[in-house]
Structure 1
């Protein structure tokens, strides 16, 4: 009898798996209470689901509030991207000696794509290969986009997940979150870093529902670029008790990379906007700011009137962005203390940045009338990327956390922004190697060498996602140690070459810069 029952259960389980597999072939995902209808993507071996709500619309009385869970029910057509969250995109600027593809690359990277904006913007997108057989759950990659916590979107070819999902049989997820004043308001009546809680709820949604798309909730790797990388690097501190994810990868950003706001300045900026919109005399400025008579467009216009602060010669500092609250974001001193005492979630971590990060930042600096010397740009690259990464990876590795560190070196012709001298391995360019989207970004096919490096990096990112602790060791990529040869260089001499070198060849200048996060115990 028991044997018959067991066989019956196995039969039902097999039938369920076959039904799910069949539905995924047809791009239908079944969550607990919903049937989510997707469609075939590019490449055709992949399904995509676009614009899936992961939180209640943060409108009306939910404006400037922490996100609320949203339960999908019934039949959902996930056939188009959701709205972009409210933002003021940067203006176009043509850099001297720009390449023919410059404007197209720049627009895709900084979100000058004229997407429709709305406060009802908390949606995510999923790509998963259509199964041919079996039901082995796949590793999951979740991206957090960059944009200084002020702009950006998942609705861009830059983050399209089809090529990566098809090439490596991983599930890829992207999502939107609230930014600038809507995500980081500075109001004393609500949380400062609402955008971080949006991000967390999106990842929580993935954990709860990704099996329906063929993904393994136990193997989620969180990846971010620029300010998204800061959020990812910060994840182990902000969500130490329940990080959800199994590993993290930061592209061009760490907890030490960029200026952040203190609570007093954030509050002053909030009060400026409140007064500009006539809410300064209200008993509750927050309630007034939630009025249906105040549109998100008028709020963005008021944000533009906030006086500029900050003395960085290399980049502007948004008036509303990640703010020290000692809950989800901390001071440099506190981060150093937590690193020394290993007071963070021991998530396997991989940090990578470009060899010539300033190749992109020079554009925005010149657009604002700032022309820096080469020595100033060299210091910027050291302080924001080389030394910031060196400090954090040193302490993570010293705490016994599996840590990897890489430097991207290639300067492909189809992704070049300007010349001479070339834009080089600039900020963000290596993301194209992971997503495999350089042709859709630039309009120019990649060279055979570039295609080969894409394959190498996609495989490495997929291997890390499958096993964040030991996966990269199988490729000969070592755990990072500040002494010895363990820095991975990718695209050396603009070829598919990968080599392993000592990080001291780049870190030796850090100790002389008097950086607040640098420690004399770090080898250089």
Structure 2
């Protein structure tokens, strides 16, 4: 079969050369793998291309060195331990991919896993040390791709004269690059699995609902799906407020007058005072970000839950899951562990609980909880665990196949006080205990034998799913709700958070509205 890309003979055992549709790239041999970094999948989105949909990368002559990660997209300062973008390269060539492959042989046709990073839709860089994919590629004997996409104002602000969800369109373009080129790196374009965490999982949920992404991947793994999706009206109002911070209108004409790296300051300025807009924007002002995918009716026609329930993604095999104490990370980073008052807990229960009686329902369901436990539980449920569960339930309702997990093993760092918090699955999956978030959650120390064992189990399950569609535990259904609990002694049981599931039963996660 003829493909859009074919491999050139390698320059030598240490420097493999692959020909992509745009030109040849030279990588390096590392730990038994061929690794290619910083390969453009689209033109730099600057100048006339600023705020536009991604455009295919221009062809180049000769052989391009693919030794270094491309520069991260413009973004504000990150949460400690989340991005690892300090000392990253600079430049405008943000839209690049990286490939780890056991052997760039077109005849190999190995399964392909494509990682989509998180970061509240405003942070992230595929070159972060925590996303080093060598263990996944080597142990799973498959090809792993990571890539950059636009975040923050460049990627998600709802700007007049620009398409919505440009960050998601970048992701589609990267997946199109994979379809056209991955065979040359030894991958099978018909066996692509997307996987991602937090905003990366929200992006995957969006891709499952997007007509433009149909057919670009066969399987998906969504780790801790955020429930925040914006209505078009809300997104436009937030964009107007961001632009006003820079003294501008939310238009392409105005915003292109400001350097992309300086424009991030406007988003950061608004983020610092979002709560003053609660009467118009509602609970989103209590999150970490003024950005989310926008249900604009075009790029993203509807919410992922509605799309999956209607059968849109029934042909895509799915893993969806979450961590037990998701929100504790943010309480810890804010220095609030052990300091949540009854007043703060009551406000959170009223604000985030399902329906008009959310506070009463949570107090009745968890009568022995402390204010801190109520505060964390309702925000864990609203922001991550129930959106993830409901995505699985929607996939079942739409006739698809889905596997559900919950991570309950506590992070050992900081005396174990963070529990199975948000983001713990990243160092466990990648085995990057001493990088980025792993530094915080593991105190920068080497992993214990039980951490190593759980890390290996993550990779074994994820790569088996990418290769076969079976992660090693039973599929989820609406009756038994079998769930893989990931802990020191993993087990399969009914969905562990049954109390919360019942509280949220029948709740729809709609696009968040503008409150007029």
Whether contact under 8 Å (2:320, 2:403) holds in the other structure is: yes
TM-score by length of 2: 0.81
* CA displacement, residues 29-80 of structure 1 (integer Å, 9 cap, x when unaligned): 2224522111123xx2112111111100111111111110114433110111
Instruction: Identify unmatched segments of 5+ residues in structure 1.
Output: 1-8, 10-15, 92-105, 520-524
Whether contact under 8 Å (2:208, 2:308) holds in the other structure is: no
Q: CA, structure 1 residues 448+360, in 2 after alignment: closer, same or farther (shift >3 Å)?
A: same
Does residue 184 (structure 1) correspond to residue 184 (structure 2)? The answer is no
Whether contact under 8 Å (2:109, 2:188) holds in the other structure is: yes
What is the distance in 1 between the residues matched to 2:181 and 2:428?
28
What is the distance in 1 between the residues matched to 2:167 and 2:284?
27
Alignment of 1:365-384 (within 5 A): 365-366=334-335, 371=340, 373-384=372-383
What is aligned with 1:172? 144
What is aligned with 2:468? 467
- Describe the SS at the equivalent of 1:363: helix
What is aligned with 2:172? 200
What is the distance in 1 between the residues matched to 2:215 and 2:265?
36
What is the distance in 2 between the residues matched to 1:137 and 1:22?
22
* CA displacement, residues 117-159 of structure 1 (integer Å, 9 cap, x when unaligned): 544311111111247x994221111011001111111111111
Whether contact under 8 Å (2:103, 2:185) holds in the other structure is: no
Q: Which moved more, 1:109-118 or 1:199-208?
A: 109-118
* CA displacement, residues 372-400 of structure 1 (integer Å, 9 cap, x when unaligned): 52112111222333322222212312333
What is aligned with 1:301? 265
User: Of 252, 255, 258, which aligns to 1:289?
Assistant: 255
User: Of 486, 492, 495, which aligns to 1:490?
Assistant: 486
What is aligned with 2:16? 27
Quote how far apart the aligned CAs of 1:230 are. Answer: 0.7
Quote how far apart the aligned CAs of 1:273 are. Answer: 4.5
What is aligned with 2:236? 267
Quote how far apart the aligned CAs of 1:479 are. Answer: 1.0
Q: CA, structure 1 residues 462+201, in 2 after alignment: closer, same or farther (shift >3 Å)?
A: same
What is aligned with 2:220? 248
Whether contact under 8 Å (2:160, 2:251) holds in the other structure is: no
What is aligned with 2:46? 59
Whether contact under 8 Å (2:85, 2:125) holds in the other structure is: no
What is aligned with 1:329? 300
User: Of 185, 207, 211, which aligns to 1:213?
Assistant: 185
What is the distance in 2 between the residues matched to 1:369 and 1:323?
35
What is aligned with 1:500? 492
What is the distance in 2 between the residues matched to 1:437 and 1:242?
32
Quote how far apart the aligned CAs of 1:268 are. Answer: 2.9
Quote how far apart the aligned CAs of 1:302 are. Answer: 2.7
* CA displacement, residues 329-369 of structure 1 (integer Å, 9 cap, x when unaligned): 3565xx55444432445311001211221231213444799
Does residue 120 (structure 1) correspond to residue 93 (structure 2)? The answer is yes
Q: CA, structure 1 residues 242+337, in 2 after alignment: closer, same or farther (shift >3 Å)?
A: closer
Q: CA, structure 1 residues 29+499, in 2 after alignment: closer, same or farther (shift >3 Å)?
A: same
| Structural RMSD (CA) | 3.1
Q: CA, structure 1 residues 404+240, in 2 after alignment: closer, same or farther (shift >3 Å)?
A: farther
What is the distance in 1 between the residues matched to 2:162 and 2:374?
42
What is the distance in 2 between the residues matched to 1:374 and 1:176?
36
Whether contact under 8 Å (1:86, 1:119) holds in the other structure is: no
Q: CA, structure 1 residues 166+326, in 2 after alignment: closer, same or farther (shift >3 Å)?
A: same
Does residue 512 (structure 1) correspond to residue 503 (structure 2)? The answer is yes
- Describe the SS at the equivalent of 1:509: helix
Q: CA, structure 1 residues 212+313, in 2 after alignment: closer, same or farther (shift >3 Å)?
A: closer
Instruction: Identify unmatched segments of 5+ residues in structure 2.
Output: 346-371, 511-516
Quote how far apart the aligned CAs of 1:271 are. Answer: 3.2
Whether contact under 8 Å (2:41, 2:56) holds in the other structure is: yes
Whether contact under 8 Å (1:35, 1:76) holds in the other structure is: yes
Quote how far apart the aligned CAs of 1:177 are. Answer: 0.6
* CA displacement, residues 383-426 of structure 1 (integer Å, 9 cap, x when unaligned): 3333222222123123331210011122253xx2x23x621111
What is the distance in 1 between the residues matched to 2:69 and 2:213?
32
What is the distance in 2 between the residues matched to 1:154 and 1:134?
25
Q: CA, structure 1 residues 269+359, in 2 after alignment: closer, same or farther (shift >3 Å)?
A: closer
What is aligned with 1:233? 205
Quote how far apart the aligned CAs of 1:247 are. Answer: 0.5
What is the distance in 2 between the residues matched to 1:67 and 1:195?
9
What is the distance in 1 between the residues matched to 2:393 and 2:486?
20
What is the distance in 1 between the residues matched to 2:191 and 2:76?
35
User: Of 145, 155, 159, which aligns to 2:131?
Assistant: 159
What is aligned with 2:363? none
Quote how far apart the aligned CAs of 1:447 are. Answer: 2.0
What is aligned with 2:73? 85
Quote how far apart the aligned CAs of 1:263 are. Answer: 2.2
* CA displacement, residues 425-474 of structure 1 (integer Å, 9 cap, x when unaligned): 11111122221222454342222222222222212111111122xx33xx
What is the distance in 2 between the residues matched to 1:198 and 1:240?
11
What is aligned with 1:438? 433
TM-score by length of 1: 0.80
Does residue 48 (structure 1) correspond to residue 35 (structure 2)? The answer is yes
Q: CA, structure 1 residues 299+368, in 2 after alignment: closer, same or farther (shift >3 Å)?
A: farther
What is aligned with 1:361? 330
